[in-house]
C-alpha cells in the first residue's frame, strides 16, 4: 500500500547576501535539507523543532505553496504537479492547511458562512443551496451552532475562530490536513477542546494530519509518529511514546528535558550552550555538534545520516547507541 | 470595565511566587497597577505596601525611586521592550545612571560586569550592538541585565520566556534561578504555563477573570488542587510520560471582563456548581495553612 503522502529527500534553499551590502558575497541558506517521511492515510505525523528549523517550510513544500529546490513530494502515489496548474488545483482539494493565528487566516469583512462556503465556490462545487447545507453541516461537525453562520470573526472567541478555520479546511473533504501550530495561539483550557476535536475528526473522517508544533506534550497527544528537526534536517524520528521517554539524539534529549514539569527533581535538566546557529553558517559535520555535550572528533567532520536503530526508530547521530 | 476585583497577595523577601492564568485574567494588570504604570484612565483602589509604605497613589517622585530600583520588571517580548534605535550599552547605561548614579569608566565596567553576569560573552563589543543584532534570547538577557542594574529586591518577570524557544527558555530560567540564589532577590513569575511556574517558584496564585481563585504551595496545587478551575487546567494538560489519556477540556470560554456573570465568575463553566454559586462572588477561605481558595464547593 502506498502512503497518502510520500516525501523524499525534500530540499529548499535560498540565496542570501552575507552582510548588508549590495555587493556582499552570496551564500546559500538550506532551509530544508533532505527531508524524507511517509504519512499513511488516517495517521498523524508530528513535526517538532525550534523556530527556524524548517518545520513551516516543509509544510509549504508539501502543499506546493513553495517550489522545492530538490527532492519529491508524492500524494497518493503521484508526484505533486507544478503549483497553480489546473492539476495542482484539483489535487489541493485533497490537502488543506490550518495556520496558527485564526484571526489572521480569516477575512474580517466576510461572514462565517461565506468563508466556510468559499472553497466550494472556488472549486465550483454544488448549487448555492447545497453549499449552504454543506457549510451548516461542517459548522455542526466542528462543534459550532447554526447561528454562527451569519456571525463575523470578531464576534467569536479564539477557539471558535479556529473551529471555523477547521470547518473551511474540511469542507472539500480533504484527506490531508497540514496544521502549522494550530493551537499555539489559544489558551490552555481551549487548546484541549481543539485537540480533542482534531482527534474526533480524524476518527470520523479518516484524515491524515501533518501536525507542526513546538509543544511536545500536545504532539505526543495527537501523533502516531514524530519527527524532530534541527537546522533543516530530521535528527530523530519514531514512535512518540518511545521517542519522548528515551530520546536517542542529544538534541531531542535536551528538547525533552527543557519541558518544564512539576516534580522534576528526579531528572536533571540539560541546558544546551549557545543558540541554534544561523542556517547560512551551518556547522560542518553534524550541525548540532557545537552545542552537543557528547560531540567527538568524528561529529565535526562527518555528517550523520538518519539511520535505523535497533528499537525501530531512526536517529541521525554517530553516537546514538553509546549515549542512549 | 473592571479588570481586577480585589487582589490580595503577599510576596515575602527572597520568595518566588508564580502567577498563573489565561489571557485577560489580570496577571499583568495586577503588577502594572501596583507600580502605577497603567496611565491616567485607570482607576486603582486598595493598597500596595512595600515594606509598610503604601505605593498606591504615592507621588510620582516616590514611585520613581521604587520602579526599576526596588522593583524591576521584565516582559514577554524583549525586542519590543528595548529601544531599537539605541545601542545596548546606552540603554543599560541609562539604567545604571538613573538607579546607581554611575558615570564614566565605573559605568562602563558595571555594564560589562552585568552582561557577563547574564551570560553574554564579549560584553565590551556587545555594548555597541543594536537590539536587532541580537537574538531573542540574547535580548532577554539584556533585559535581565537592565533589571538587575538597580539591584532590585523584587523582580516581576511577565512571561519572560514565552517568546523564546524551548532550549533558550531553559537557559533563561536557569539564569534567573542562579541570580536569585546569589542575590536573594524575590521574584514574581507571571506565566500561562503551569510547568514553568512549577519548576521555578515555591508558591502559586491561580487567577481567573480578575480574581485570585487559589493560592497555595506548588506541591499542593499539583497534588491536591482545590478550585475547580485549577483542577480543570491540570486536566486539560497532556502528559509527556505514561499512558495517553483523553484530555478533559474546560467547557465554554472565559467571560468578558465587561460582562461577568453574577456570583462566581467561573460558575458557568464549572461542573460542580450549585445554585448558591450564582449569588455572590465566593470569598477566599483558608483550607489549610498557606492554602487559600475562593470556592464555596472546595
User: Quick one: closest CA in B to A254, which residue?
Assistant: B167
Which alpha helices (H) appear in B187-235, and where do they start and end?
194-200, 218-223, 228-235
Q: Would you call B257 helix, strand, or coil by DSSP?
A: helix
What's the whole-number mean pLDDT along residues B46-71? 89
Q: How far apart are the first and last CA of chain B?
A: 29
pLDDT band at B20 (very low <50, low <70, confident <90, very high): very high
CB proximity under 8 Å: A 2-41 to B:
none
Interface test with B, best of A100, A272, A275, A291 (most B CBs within 10 A): A275
Question: Which grid cell sits at A244?
Answer: 519522548
What's the whole-number mean pLDDT along residues B246-271? 89
Whether residue B208 is contained in a domain is answered as no
DSSP symbol at A211: E
Q: Do B22 and A188 lie within an 8 Å CB cutoff?
A: yes
Percentage of chain B exceeding pLDDT 70: 100
Residue B123 has a pLDDT of: 87
pLDDT band at B163 (very low <50, low <70, confident <90, very high): confident
Percentage of chain A exceeding pLDDT 70: 98
Listed in sequence order, the residues at least 6 apart from A95 whose beta carbon sits closer than 8 Å to its beta carbon are A62, A63, A75, A174, A175, A176, A177, A178
Same domain flag for B270 and B165: no
DSSP tally for chain A: helices H, then strands E: 12, 12
How far is the CA of A174 from the CAs of A60, A170, B236, in angstroms?
A: 16, 6, 28
DSSP notation for A45-88: EEEE--TTSSHHHHHHHHHTSS--SEEEEEETTEEPPPTTSHHH
Contacts with A160 from chain B: Cβ below 8 Å: 253
Residue B121 has a pLDDT of: 85
Per-residue pLDDT of A50-81, as tens digits, reads 888 999 999 999 999 999 999 999 999 889 99
B228 close to B270: Cβ distance less than 8 angstroms: yes
- pLDDT over 70 at A267, yes or no: no
Whether residue B138 is contained in a domain is answered as yes
Same domain flag for B102 and B223: no
What's the whole-number mean pLDDT along residues B186-193? 93
Same domain flag for B98 and B174: yes
Same domain flag for B32 and B115: yes
Q: How far apart are the C-alpha atoms of B121 and B123, rounded to whole Å? A: 5
Residue B235, classified by CB atoms within 10 Å of its CB into exposed (0-12), middle (13-18) or buried (19+), is middle
- CATH class belonging to A5-94+174-323: alpha beta
Closest CA to A53 of A75, A76, A25, A33: A33
The CB density around residue A1, as the number of other CB atoms within 10 Å, is 6
Residue A265 has a pLDDT of: 52
Contacts with B233 from chain A: Cβ below 8 Å: 188-189
Same domain flag for B23 and B81: yes
DSSP symbol at A57: H
Q: How far apart are the C-alpha atoms of A207 and A199, rounded to whole Å? A: 9
Same domain flag for B225 and B180: no
Whether residue B109 is contained in a domain is answered as yes
- pLDDT over 90 at A211, yes or no: yes
Same domain flag for B192 and B252: no
A196 close to B200: Cβ distance less than 8 angstroms: no
The CB density around residue A68, as the number of other CB atoms within 10 Å, is 20
Contacts with B169 from chain A: Cβ below 8 Å: 258, 260
Distance from the Cα of A177 to chain B's closest Cα (Å) equals 21
Which alpha helices (H) appear in A65-222, and where do they start and end?
86-92, 102-105, 112-122, 128-141, 158-170, 188-205, 216-222
Contacts with B222 from chain A: Cβ below 8 Å: 262-263
Q: Do A275 and B137 lie within an 8 Å CB cutoff?
A: yes
Same domain flag for B182 and B65: yes
Distance from the Cα of A147 to chain B's closest Cα (Å) equals 17
How many domains are there within chain B?
Answer: 2
From B165, B174, B246, residue closest to A271, measured CB to CB: B174
Q: How far apart are the C-alpha atoms of B163 and B175, rounded to whole Å? A: 16
Which residue range is the domain that position B281 belongs to? Answer: 213-293
Which residue is it, cell 538587575?
A: B148
Per-residue pLDDT of B201-242, as tens digits, reads 999 999 999 999 999 999 999 999 999 999 999 999 888 888
Residue A36, classified by CB atoms within 10 Å of its CB into exposed (0-12), middle (13-18) or buried (19+), is middle
Whether residue B116 is contained in a domain is answered as yes
* Domain locations along chain A: 5-94+174-323
Contacts with B165 from chain A: Cβ below 8 Å: 50-51, 214, 276
Q: How far apart are the C-alpha atoms of B211 and B206, rounded to whole Å? A: 8
Per-residue pLDDT of A275-322, as tens digits, reads 888 888 889 999 999 999 999 999 999 999 999 999 889 999 999 998
β-bridge partners, A314 = A237, A308
DSSP symbol at B20: E
What's the whole-number mean pLDDT along residues A208-236? 95
Residue A266 has a pLDDT of: 47
Mean pLDDT of chain A: 91
Residue A5 has a pLDDT of: 96
Lowest mean pLDDT among A74-78, A179-183, B75-79, B278-282: B75-79
Query: For B197, what's the count of Cα atoms within 13 Å in the CB-facing half-sphere?
Result: 25
Q: How far apart are the C-alpha atoms of A98 and B20, rounded to whole Å? A: 28
What's the whole-number mean pLDDT along residues B101-127? 92
Q: How far apart are the C-alpha atoms of A223 and A47, rounded to whole Å? A: 9
Q: Which of A191-195, B52-56, B193-197, B226-230 has the highest mean pLDDT?
A: B226-230
Where residue B40 sits, what CATH number does that domain have? 3.40.50.300
- pLDDT over 70 at A1, yes or no: no
Whether residue B2 is contained in a domain is answered as no
Same domain flag for B39 and B174: yes
Whether residue B11 is contained in a domain is answered as no
Amino acid at each position: 500500500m502506498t502512503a497518502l503522502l510520500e516525501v523524499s529527500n525534500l530540499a529548499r534553499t535560498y540565496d542570501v547576501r552575507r552582510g548588508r551590502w549590495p555587493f556582499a558575497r552570496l551564500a546559500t541558506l538550506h532551509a530544508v535539507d533532505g527531508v524524507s517521511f511517509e504519512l499513511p492515510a488516517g495517521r498523524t505525523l508530528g513535526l517538532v523543532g525550534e523556530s527556524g528549523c524548517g518545520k513551516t517550510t516543509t509544510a509549504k513544500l508539501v502543499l506546493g505553496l513553495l517550489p522545492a529546490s530538490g527532492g519529491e513530494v508524492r500524494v497518493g502515489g503521484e508526484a505533486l504537479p507544478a503549483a497553480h496548474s489546473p492539476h495542482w488545483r484539483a489535487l489541493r482539494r485533497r490537502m488543506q492547511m490550518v495556520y496558527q493565528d485564526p484571526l489572521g487566516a480569516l477575512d474580517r469583512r466576510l461572514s462565517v458562512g461565506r468563508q466556510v462556503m468559499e472553497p466550494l465556490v472556488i472549486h465550483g462545487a454544488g448549487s448555492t443551496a447545497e453549499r449552504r447545507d454543506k457549510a451548516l453541516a461542517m459548522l455542526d461537525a466542528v462543534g459550532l451552532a447554526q447561528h454562527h453562520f451569519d456571525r463575523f470573526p470578531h464576534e467569536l472567541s479564539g477557539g471558535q475562530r479556529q473551529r471555523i478555520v477547521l470547518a473551511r479546511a474540511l469542507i472539500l473533504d480533504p484527506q490531508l490536513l497540514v496544521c502549522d501550530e494550530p493551537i499555539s495561539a489559544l489558551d490552555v483550557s481551549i487548546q484541549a477542546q481543539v485537540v480533542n476535536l482534531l482527534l474526533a475528526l480524524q476518527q470520523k473522517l479518516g484524515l491524515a494530519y501533518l501536525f507542526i508544533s513546538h509543544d511536545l506534550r500536545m504532539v505526543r497527544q495527537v501523533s502516531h509518529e514524530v519527527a524532530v528537526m534541527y537546522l533543516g534536517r530530521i535528527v530523530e524520528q519514531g514512535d512518540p511514546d518511545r521517542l519522548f521517554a528515551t530520546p536517542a539524539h542529544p538534541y531531542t534529549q535536551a528538547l525533552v528535558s527543557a519541558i518544564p514539569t512539576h516534580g522534576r527533581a528526579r531528572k536533571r535538566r540539560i541546558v544546551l550552550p549557545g543558540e541554534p546557529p544561523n542556517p547560512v553558517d551551518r556547522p560542518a559535520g553534524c550541525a548540532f555538534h557545537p552545542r552537543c555535550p557528547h560531540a567527538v572528533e568524528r561529529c565535526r567532520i562527518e555528517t550523520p545520516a538518519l539511520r535505523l536503530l535497533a528499537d525501530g526508530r531512526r536517529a541521525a547521530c554517530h553516537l546514538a547507541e553509546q549515549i542512549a | 470595565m473592571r479588570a481586577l476585583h480585589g487582589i490580595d497577595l503577599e510576596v515575602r523577601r527572597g520568595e518566588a511566587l508564580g502567577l498563573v492564568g489565561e489571557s485577560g485574567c489580570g496577571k499583568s494588570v495586577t503588577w502594572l497597577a501596583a507600580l502605577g504604570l497603567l496611565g491616567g484612565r485607570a482607576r486603582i483602589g486598595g493598597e500596595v505596601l512595600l515594606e509598610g509604605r503604601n505605593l498606591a497613589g504615592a507621588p510620582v517622585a516616590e514611585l520613581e525611586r521604587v520602579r526599576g530600583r526596588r522593583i524591576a520588571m521584565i516582559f514577554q517580548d524583549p525586542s519590543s521592550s528595548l529601544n531599537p534605535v539605541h545601542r545596548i550599552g546606552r540603554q543599560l547605561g541609562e539604567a545604571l545612571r538613573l538607579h546607581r548614579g554611575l558615570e564614566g569608566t565605573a559605568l562602563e565596567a558595571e555594564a560589562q560586569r552585568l552582561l557577563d553576569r547574564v551570560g553574554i560573552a564579549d560584553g565590551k563589543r556587545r555594548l555597541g550592538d543594536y537590539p536587532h543584532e541580537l537574538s531573542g534570547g540574547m535580548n532577554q538577557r539584556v533585559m535581565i541585565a537592565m533589571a538587575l542594574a538597580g539591584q532590585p529586591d523584587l523582580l516581576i518577570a511577565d512571561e519572560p520566556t514565552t517568546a523564546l524557544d524551548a532550549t533558550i527558555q531553559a537557559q533563561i530560567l536557569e539564569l534567573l534561578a542562579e541570580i536569585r540564589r546569589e542575590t536573594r532577590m524575590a521574584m514574581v513569575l507571571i506565566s500561562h504555563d503551569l510547568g514553568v511556574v512549577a519548576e521555578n517558584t515555591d508558591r502559586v496564585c491561580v487567577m481567573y477573570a480578575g480574581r485570585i481563585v487559589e493560592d497555595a504551595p506548588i506541591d499542593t496545587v499539583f497534588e491536591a488542587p482545590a478550585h475547580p478551575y485549577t483542577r480543570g487546567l491540570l486536566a486539560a494538560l497532556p502528559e509527556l510520560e505514561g499512558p495517553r489519556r483523553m484530555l478533559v477540556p474546560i467547557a465554554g470560554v472565559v467571560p468578558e471582563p465587561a460582562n461577568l456573570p453574577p456570583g462566581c465568575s467561573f460558575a458557568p463553566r464549572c461542573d460542580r456548581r450549585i445554585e448558591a454559586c450564582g449569588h455572590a462572588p465566593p470569598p477566599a477561605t483558608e483550607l489549610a495553612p498557606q492554602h487559600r481558595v475562593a470556592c464555596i464547593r472546595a
